[in-house]
A = this chain, B = another copy of it.
């Protein structure tokens, strides 16, 4: 049964906002997995129809219970399936027949259970498709729509208070997700939606988040990920969040490289899953939280409505040391802690006690206990400085002064339009609750407050930038070669394609004889490099297949013979096409530039600083194609050794714009070539005062259009 995209969207909407819910396999024991949804729906006041299905009962908790799906009086908007794995397929078939189009499957025993489980899961996919039923799960805790009191879940999180709030939280992990939801509750932030996606055989993370992010009551999207198949869907989600002005915050486990993959190019070897994920989500303005605590800290900063108009942080403390610690962390996190303007310094001097410090950080000392206006006027003055965009006030304990301090913070909040956070170490619980109730953001540790402020500033900066440049790199048409041979491409051919795409490539010609090589050298009129050319030799230097700076006939002739001999010795069966002749390029810096077709995110462009810096430091940066030159410049800004581009040890600076243009042009071309381009290395790209020029390239094609040549 075919479901159109519009129908599917409608079914998903009904799944999340059901007017009626059937609970298949409902238990009369409301403490069990198959009883808990009933308990929550009843206790928390779900307004729609609840329809338990179980032949063993005629009634559960006062509700009529139906003996089978077929006998349900209505085609419910949602079915909760809580039966053993072996019964799930029959269930789905029955749901389809009864006209029920959406199901959440709690049952485990599928893909997570080895080969037999995977086979059963595939059958479930097939059954759902045949029956036209859209699935969430299996092996999931279900979901909560707190606005409408929909508790299609057996998560422990539902046991406590689950008051609605501005955060939509979608999690791939049940256990970790429940923990995060409970932490959100501890902070009093409130989840509007809690959704556990389980094995994601049908509805996956991005589609479910996309369905709830439109809700005007949702202000922030939060996600916990363990893996991702559909990068394009995540990018669409990020773009939609950007358009709606709602931040997307993700925690994804699996930071470390899971071992090098087999790849012909450096780019392929370096473009490991997490590095690409991290780069791409940053490119589209997603904030990544490194763990659950940082997730909560960032959510709290983003749940308040004020935007940061820049990266200037103002810090007020009652401890000089805490100020230094926060200022240090601010610098590490890309915030500035600006000097204050003269008028603001003068204002501070009138309110500050003599032994406080009237700079930034401003140390108000413990004197504010005696004179509360001291704290208030200092912080307001600090926030009035035009270079300050976010404020943090640090204090500790003060159990005896909660009333006074809560009042002061409320007054500060009312006298500024800038976001300001309280960092209250070892705070009385009452103080935190009262501040949060007033919409004031509170942290328990200085560095955490700074990290959250940094996330807010980065989000706001991305939104400003996105508004200005529209994120719409215009994509040029690329004419794909009609028929290709899969595998490593001949250098002359590859160079020609890239030059046609606007990439500055060093001239290269193939000599099939010694005499041809000499002629090519004479034509070049300068020193040349000779390189062995063979479809079977990807890394020429490894077999000694490159000779540099040859500039007389004898050297050319000797070199030609030497390279042919070396290639035959190293790889007796290699097909030798001849020797490439290339005029020597100049440039004092080496870059590595490349493209990798990523199974999740598509065409990924990489730039790195060459030589040992790539090999040992792995100083490389990734972006998803296509992108514009502004994005190329941002890539260069992210290189750890990027200072080399500006000239060190007496070397001249290079033209960052020219490199950014190369990256953007390559990204445009690679995007168009996506169906056939598997990997590309431009290594090295020499960069000197005249701009970048690629002097070697390895291009691997693999046609995925279906009709291509699958040989080699």
Contact = CB atoms under 8 A, between A and B. Distances in A.
Contacts of A108: 355
A182 B255 contact: no
Contacts of A331: 256
Copies of this protein in the complex? 2
Contacts of A122: none
B355 A253 contact: no
A243 interface: no
A381 B628 CA distance: 55
Given A253-B325, A355-B112, A643-B616, A445 B291 contact: yes
B397 A156 contact: yes
Contacts of A644: 612, 616
A558 interface: no
Interface stretch (A126-134, A313-321, A515-523): A313-321
A178 B398 CA distance: 10
A210 to B, nearest CB: 22
Nearest to A444: B293
Contacts of A649: 611-612, 615
A415 B157 CA distance: 32
Interface string A266-307: 000000000000000000000000111100000000000000
Interface stretch (A50-58, A169-177, A434-442, A577-585): A169-177
B226 A399 contact: no
Contacts of A366: 174-175
B175 A319 contact: yes
Contacts of A611: 649
Given A324-B254, A355-B108, A355-B112, A425 B292 contact: yes
Interface string A417-436: 00000000110000000000
A368 to B, nearest CB: 11
A322 interface: yes
Contact of A156 (B113, B117, B317, B399): B399
Contacts of A317: 175
Contact of A173 (B109, B320, B354, B615): B320
**Which 7 pairs of residues, A with B, have the shortest CB-CB distance?**
A182-B426, A179-B396, A175-B319, A179-B425, A253-B324, A173-B321, A176-B319
16 contacts: A108-B355, A113-B355, A159-B400, A173-B321, A175-B318, A176-B322, A179-B397, A182-B397, A183-B426, A226-B320, A253-B325, A256-B331, A612-B648, A615-B649, A616-B644, A617-B641
